[in-house]
A and B are shown apart, each in its own frame.
Chain A
């Protein structure tokens, strides 16, 4: 078979992607549910108590994955948005819009669970620490993206404006990531790096499984949301008219 015979852009068509996403999301949702059960079991019953922080450390099992997802989703969202800007593919903007609310929710969870952990450990809900501040900016970038999207009536123009915002804002993600190295403020450095971990292996396993759970969840909800967006935006096409009958 010649490589040119493969329809690389088959799923770039909203109609085909609508069907594909409809087939895929239940699988991601099922895996997310399964992983959540395992992850919560490890978080509460397998991972030992922390010597310094007592049981309060268990907040990291939601805090760390939520924070990482908030950053990853932003990068993926900016990637789709940039792709749409470069190649003028309709689906890309829809994917970016489908990811933004979930990313905003994870940024919100990261900030709130961090504050709840900070109160007993640091003695304060909030400090203007470099990592906390840059994560707050990330939440505002998501909210700005959503506000801009809903303020422009023509979805294609909204996609372009939002893509520029998403791309410019992506400079904030490495700032969050390296903030604990660049500025020596209150938030602790990374406990886990590629080569070493400062945690018990069951704690690390729990955190990684919870991270994977959030990944699967984020993919499932983004697929469901992009289907809603496709129906809404393609409402005047023949295939949507037939699909809703």
Chain B
């Protein structure tokens, strides 16, 4: 274990901003990418279902 207290861990030896912004940004990018892929899939499926319904009603 490298840390004696939570405060010391969060402080990162005085580099708190640098370390946490790097890891935080990476986590944020992962979150945004996965959520946007899920939203994209839902939107695509919804559009395809709507197309299918309008085709079925017009024929």
Where the two chains meet, the residues of B that have a C-beta atom closer than 8 Å to any C-beta of A are 1-3, 9, 12-15, 17-19, 21-23, 25-26, 29-30, 33-34, 37, 40-41, 44-45, 48-49, 51-52
Contacts and interface: CB of A to CB of B under 8 A. Distances in A.
A117 B52 contact: no
A231 B18 contact: no
A125 to B, nearest CB: 11
A101 B23 CA distance: 20
Contacts of A116: 17-18, 21-22
B36 to A, nearest CB: 9
Given A44-B9, A56-B13, A113 B44 contact: no
Contacts of A55: 12-15, 19
Interface stretch (A76-84, A102-110, A150-158): A102-110
Interface of B is mostly: helix
A117 B2 contact: no
Nearest to B45: A244
B16 to A, nearest CB: 9
Range for the number of chain A residues in contact with chain B: 35 or more
A45 B8 CA distance: 12
Nearest to B15: A56
A226 B51 CA distance: 21
27 contacts: A48-B2, A55-B14, A56-B12, A56-B15, A56-B18, A59-B18, A59-B19, A62-B22, A62-B23, A105-B29, A105-B33, A109-B29, A112-B22, A113-B25, A116-B21, A116-B22, A117-B18, A117-B22, A221-B33, A224-B37, A227-B41, A228-B40, A228-B41, A231-B45, A235-B48, A241-B52, A244-B48
Interface in A1-56: 44-49, 54-56
Given A55-B13, A113-B26, 9 more contacts: A45-B2, A58-B12, A58-B19, A59-B22, A101-B33, A120-B15, A120-B18, A241-B52, A244-B45
Interface of A: 44-49, 54-56, 58-59, 62-63, 66, 101-102, 105, 108-109, 112-113, 116-117, 119-120, 217, 221, 224-225, 227-228, 231-232, 235, 240-241, 244-245
